[in-house]
Each structure stands twice: as C-alpha cells, then as structure tokens.
Amino acid sequence: MQWSLLRPVGLVPAALVLTTIAASAEGGKSAGPSEFLLVAQIVLLVAVGRGLGEIMQRIGQPSVIGELLAGIILGPSLFGWIWPEAQHAIFPKTPEQKAMIDGIAQFGILLLLLLTGMETDLKLVRKVGKAAIAISIAGILVPFACGFALGEFLPDALLPKPEQRLVASLFMGTALSISSVKIVAVVVREMNFMRRNVGQIIVATAVIDDTIGWIIIAVIFSLASQGTLDVASVAKAVLGTLAFLAVSFTIGRRLVSQLIRWANDNLVSTAAVVTVILLLMGVMALITHLIGVHTVLGAFVAGILVGESPILTRQIDERLRGLISSFFMPVFFGLAGLSADLSVLRDPSLLMLTGLLVVIASVGKFGGAFVGGTLGGLSTRESLALASGMNARGSTEVIIATIGLSIGVLSQNLFTMIVTMAIVTTMAMPPMLRAALARLPMNKEEKERLEREEFEKRGFVANLERPLLAVDESVNATFAAHIAGVIAGMRGLPITVLHIGKRAKEQAEEESHEAVVKKAAETVSANSDGDTGSVDVLTRARRAELGETIADEARKGFDLLVVGVDKVAATKDRFDRKIEDIAAKFDGPLAIVAAKGRHLKQPMPDALNILVPVSGSGVSKRGAEVAVALTQAGSGSLRVIYVATTRDKGAQRGASRGLGQEAGILKDASDLAARYDVDITTTLRVNRAPELAILREIDTTDADLVVMGVDRIQGDHLSFGGVADAVLRQSKVSVLLVSSGETRQVPGEKA
C-alpha cells in the first residue's frame, strides 16, 4: 500500500534533475523569453502537481491541495531554499518570461470558473429554497465581518498600498467568507450524501456563497481599479453587474442553449461544441470586463448557462473537464504555490498573524454557518455538518488571493498568509465533514425520496435528454406528436420534429406538428410540478432520402426516436418499408406509434386510458415505466396485466419473496406506480396465450392505448416478436411499441 502511494511521484526527482540540467544549459543563450523554459515549467508543474494530487486523493484530500503543495515545493519555500540557483534558472523572475506562464494561468482561471459554473446546480438551489439562502447569508456575513475587521487592524507593512486599506479589508472579508463549491461538492459526493437533505443544503449553500462571492469580487475589482471610493464608479459596476446577470439568466439562457444545439447539430468538425463553449466563455468574460468588473464573473456565469444546456452530453463534459483538470489546474495552482513563500513564516509575528487568520477564518465561517443552519430549521447535527462543509476554501480562496496580488491590493506576505489559510482549512474540512455526516440518521420521508431517485437513475424515462419525432402528414403523426409532447413536457426536454413526408409539403404542415407538441407539453404543467410544460421545439424538413436523413439525425445524439407515419404494418408480418428504413438507420430506443379507434378522430386526447402488459422481463418493465410516466403526466387510467410465457419463468429475479411469480411482478408494477402517485388496476391472465390475453383485456375494458416494451429480434427485417406483431395488427385501440436499442439474437416473444 505504501509503495502504491509513493508510485505517482516516483518520476518527480528524475524530472526535476533533468529539467534543472536542461534549464541551466539553456540559460544565458538568450536574454529574451525562452519557449524551452516555458515548456519545462509546464512539465514540472503538471508532473509534480498531478502526482501530489493523486496522493492527496488517496488519503481523502482534494487533489487541489497536492497542486498547491507542488508549487510550494518547487518555489522559494523548499526548492529555492535548498538549491536557489536551479530554482531561479527554471523559474526566472524576468518580466518577459514570467508573462508567458502567467498568460496560461490567467486563462486557466477563466476555465476553472467555467468548470465551477458548470457544476453549479441552480435547480438544487431552487429546490432547497429559502433555507439555503438564509443559511448562506448568515454564513457570509459573520466571517466577512471578521475578515474586514482583521484587515482594518493589519500593520501598514503588510499592505502594498496602505492608502487603499478599505479595498484590502474587503478582499480579506471576501476571502474568509466564501466557500469552494467544487471541493464541498466532491467531498459530499464521495460520502454519497449528494442527494441527502443535508447534502443538498450544504452544496446549495456553497453555490450561493460562490455566486455572491464572485459578485462581491467583481465590485471590489472595480473599486480597486479606481484607487478611491468613487460612488459613481461603484454604482456603475453594481448596476452593470445586475444588468449582466438579468440578461444572462433570461435571454442568455435560451441563446446559449440554442448556440450549443446549433453547433451540435450543424457543425461537422471535431469538438465543435467545445469550441462554441470556449467562445461563449471568452465573450462573456470580455463583457464583464467592459462593464468594469472582473472577467471571472463572466466565465462563472457562462459555466452556469452551459451546465444548464440539455445538449451538454457527457462526452463534451468529460472533454472539458479532462483538459482543465489535467493541464490548467496544476499550472494555475502550481503558480499560486510558487508565489507563496512560506519561508517568511519564520518571522514569529507573521506566523502568529497567519495562525490568527486561520482561527478567525475557521471560527467565523463555522460559527456563521452553524447559526444560519440553526435559524434555518436544521438540527444540531445537521448544522454541525453544514458548518464543517462551509469551512473549505481551497481553489476559490487562491483565485481571489491571486486576483488581489495581481492588481496590487495584497502584498506578497499577505498573499502567502491567505494561501496558507486556504490549505489548512481545506485539509481540515474532509475529515470533519465525514465525521459529521456519518452520524446523521435518515428519516422515513428522506429514505423514500432516495429510493425513488435511485430507481430513476437506473430508469429509462428519467434519463431521457433529447427525443426526436419523425412524422409525416397523417392522423397517426398527429397522435405521435401528442405522445412525444407529453414525454418531453414531463421534464421540459428539447425536442426536434423531423418531417419525413413528401419534400414538397408546405411548411405550415410542419408547424402544425410543432403546435401539437407544444400543446401536449403545456397540458403536462397542469398535472405536474418542477421543470415541466415548456419545451423548445425545433422543426426540420426532410432534404434527402429517408435513410440518409435518419442517419444524419442519429449522429446528433438523440436518445429516443418517436415514429408517427401513416402506415405502420404491412402484409406478411412485416412493418411498412418506411418504418423499416427508419429503424435500420437509428440504433437507439424506438417508440413506434399506431393510432386506432377513437384516436383516429381525436388524435390529441385529453386523457389516455392505458393498458400495459408485463411478464417480468426487462423490456416489459421499460414499457411499464413509459406507461406510468404517460399516466402521471396527464389524466386517465392505468391498467397492468400480467401475461405469462414459458421463457419468462424466473425472469423477475427482483420479485418480492413469499409471493408467487405473478403476484410478485404485479406488486413490482404497483410499487413503480406508487413512486409517482399513480393509481393502477392489476389483472392476472395466466391460462391463455399472451396476445390473446391482451386482446381480451382490450375488449373488456375502456383501454384506448396499449403500451408494450419490446426487443428488436435479429433477422432480415424489423421484428419485435409474434406477441407484439399480433397485438399491433389485431388491436382495436392504439398501440405504442417501445424498444431498446439492443437486438436480441434468439428469436422469441416478449410482452
């Protein structure tokens, strides 16, 4: 175990020696900036930072601590003390050379704030509500007052510009009051407390802290740039910031989402969406600079808007996160560590002041958050956990201190003290928070909510992000648009309507499908809460052969294709050629809609009376999940029928013990419906063929839609098995077949 811990930094001494020799050989060749030295600096900072970050993570600490320590080790605190000539050769203080690596670090700050914004969950803040806001305000005011008071009493020798003491005091107050949402979220997630009530409050409070902190920093930056307390300039900065935030979270939210969607759907170059995100970050950073506040606010808000975009796929997120975490973070935090000369703490007075800073920061933040939690209605244990989590500074404090140092508000010694405080408080937070969270009991309501969310994590409907609707001009297309609108409206998903009818059709017909989708989505909001009802609908016309059109859409990342065309079934147990062409080019989940009965006259029904067959198989459970979701989103009824097939014996391993197979499967369906407050009626049909049982149930009930989960059967043509085929052809009511993206190799029949 010890060897595995040491392994990540095994190459550090060799890299250090080799780089030192190379840098010494390079030194003196040119008086100007050296590209060789820049690369050598980056290699050292990344190698040592990532290595120490790996060790920190293995012992339960955030990796940012290792990256900060890497800079301290490579800086004057250790390497410069042991071998000053080599340290100066690798990291010379000449303005030209320092400007090269500083430029990378400054861009790294923007990327770090972009990533922090992407990890900021505003939905979580809205969900937790007023409690988190009250807790955050109390958790900011107390430490801010402590930090401001400390700044007012600091010796003049610690201030680069004693005449700007007010600005320095404001910086100190902000540095002590803000929390690092990134580090807080990492520890809470590691403890599996992200979905616990107290975990949500901790993270939401940290989000509010971060947001308020960056707004304060933006105003302080404007104040510092003026040199004096110019009320007009500060008012301009405050009003500009408020206007920027207002526009960003209204018009900007929709604009960013549409830009990312447009780039994903229309640009064919590699990583086009990443390029658009970086451009958005840069433009918003420039806007905040032009209104007189720091660029970090623009990058942070850009990250929030990007994180809310429904087109931000996991692959894009991983690309950005990988670039920032592996390159820019170790470079930026390594340089911050390089700027902190811990050797100055050998001065007893500075050491005592640093200790006092740590105590004031910890007591102020812990006390303020604890009081806020108590006033917010939390228990003592919950308030202790909240206060422990809020005491982490880490990356956020270092960024603030770096900004203060760069604009001349903080001295080198004061910068070192703040970095030391950030390291100490951040390293103390994880064990304190883990100990506090481990003692928190779980009440019944919270347990039921967590079980439901755990189920949704594995579910199909809850994980949908972007459906595609393919329709022609038929009545069936209108009914399919209604179904797709209900599905999209449940969670406010963006949906694309692809018109695959005759290419010469008028645009008005395409718009009619868009109207159907929007109307169906709007009806959902009357029966649901949360982010429902409003959906973003984009309409496209077919501009090539059907197969080519579907293949072109499939590459854009749709996770469900809803198909509504005039003719579904053809002769001789075959689907219509148009359906087969669509299925052949789309590998993901399909939902094939066949309108019958009353839906031919009323393709936009006010209610759906749904029948869903279950057999214990995985695909039948998917059908039940879709049926429950459709029932929850609108009015109507839900009936579940158990149909047995010989190969379904033992398929339901999760059925409740002590019950028969049939009763266990129906109980599972009832439990699923109960999670979403949906009432169901259950029926057993075990002594007849599945298709006959389903058709009999249709004839004897008021069901007007059959929802079936089906598997694709491997073969020369599209097939979902004999049961699905019989129901599709013989049913007098509408049918919705929901398939997975997988193909079953052994032919068979599933219900």
Residue that terminates a domain, selected from 438, 469, 489: 438
Residue 231 domain-assigned (yes or no): yes
Q: CA-to-CA distance for 484 and 520, rounded, in angstroms?
A: 8
**What's the CATH number where 184 sits?**
1.20.1530.20
Residue 310 domain-assigned (yes or no): yes
pLDDT exceeds cutoff 80 at 127? no
pLDDT tens digit sequence for 457-479: 777 877 788 888 988 888 898 89
**pLDDT given for residue 380 in this prediction:** 84
**pLDDT given for residue 436 in this prediction:** 80
Nearest to 339, CA basis, from 418, 421, 221, 425 = 418
- Environment class of 465 (CB within 10 Å of its CB; exposed 0-12, middle 13-18, buried 19+): middle
User: Which residues, 6 or more positions from 493, have their beta carbon under 8 angstroms from its beta carbon?
Assistant: 310, 464, 465, 466, 467, 487, 535
Residue 237 domain-assigned (yes or no): yes
Residue 113 domain-assigned (yes or no): yes
Q: CA-to-CA distance for 548 and 542, rounded, in angstroms?
A: 10
**Percent of the chain surpassing pLDDT 70:** 79
Q: Is residue 527 a contact partner of residue 534, using CB atoms and an 8 Å limit?
A: no
pLDDT tens digit sequence for 226-261: 655 566 666 777 788 788 889 998 899 889 988 888
pLDDT exceeds cutoff 90 at 281? yes
Nearest to 501, CA basis, from 470, 547, 479 = 470
Number of H helices, E strands in the chain: 31, 10
Residue 257 domain-assigned (yes or no): yes
Least confident of 305-314, 328-337, 376-385: 305-314
Q: Is the dihedral of CA 63, 303, 42, 106 positive or negative?
A: negative
Helix (H) or strand (E) holding 611: strand 607-614
Tell me the average pLDDT across 702-714.
88
Residue 538 domain-assigned (yes or no): no
Structure tokens at 57: 């993570």
Domain housing 382: 94-438
* Number of domains within the chain: 2
Q: CA-to-CA distance for 131 and 378, rounded, in angstroms?
A: 9
Q: Is residue 616 a contact partner of residue 661, using CB atoms and an 8 Å limit?
A: yes
**What's the CATH number where 668 sits?**
3.40.50.620
Which is more confident, 534 or 172?
A: 172
**pLDDT given for residue 128 in this prediction:** 63
Residue that terminates a domain, selected from 392, 411, 438: 438
pLDDT level of residue 19 (50, 70, 90 thresholds):
low
Structure tokens at 189: 């997630």
pLDDT tens digit sequence for 389-432: 777 666 667 777 877 888 788 888 888 888 888 878 777 877 88
**Percent of the chain surpassing pLDDT 90:** 6
Calculate the CA dihedral of residues 416, 419, 425, 428 and round it to 10 degrees. -100
**pLDDT given for residue 661 in this prediction:** 65
Residue that terminates a domain, selected from 388, 416, 438: 438
Q: Is residue 174 a contact partner of residue 216, using CB atoms and an 8 Å limit?
A: yes
**pLDDT given for residue 5 in this prediction:** 42
**pLDDT given for residue 596 in this prediction:** 92
**pLDDT given for residue 431 in this prediction:** 82
Neighbours of 126 (CB within 10 A): 12
**pLDDT given for residue 230 in this prediction:** 61
Structure tokens at 458: 């594995």
pLDDT level of residue 748 (50, 70, 90 thresholds):
very low
- Long-range Cβ pairs for the range 28-37 (8 Å, 24+): 32/96, 33/94, 33/96, 33/97, 33/99, 33/100, 34/97, 37/90, 37/92, 37/97
Residue 473 domain-assigned (yes or no): no
Neighbours of 457 (CB within 10 A): 10
Q: CA-to-CA distance for 456 and 463, rounded, in angstroms?
A: 7
pLDDT tens digit sequence for 304-320: 898 887 666 666 777 78
Least confident of 166-180, 224-238, 498-512, 671-685: 498-512
**pLDDT given for residue 653 in this prediction:** 42
- Environment class of 17 (CB within 10 Å of its CB; exposed 0-12, middle 13-18, buried 19+): exposed
Per the listing, tokens 């039940």 go with: 624
- Long-range Cβ pairs for the range 615-618 (8 Å, 24+): 615/642, 615/643, 615/644, 615/645, 615/648, 615/651, 615/665, 615/690, 615/750, 615/751, 616/648, 616/651, 616/652, 616/655, 616/661, 616/665, 617/648, 617/651, 617/652, 617/709, 617/750, 617/751, 618/651, 618/709
Nearest to 617, CA basis, from 639, 590, 646, 638 = 646
Residue 187 domain-assigned (yes or no): yes
Q: CA-to-CA distance for 560 and 743, rounded, in angstroms?
A: 16
pLDDT tens digit sequence for 485-520: 888 887 778 888 888 876 544 444 444 767 777 777
Q: How would you classify residue 120: left for phi > 0, otherwise alpha for psi between -120 and 50, otherwise beta?
A: beta
pTM of the model: 0.70
Whole-number mean pLDDT of the chain? 78
pLDDT exceeds cutoff 70 at 750? no
pLDDT exceeds cutoff 60 at 645? no
**pLDDT given for residue 509 in this prediction:** 47
pLDDT tens digit sequence for 514-563: 777 777 776 665 445 544 556 777 777 777 788 888 888 888 888 889 99
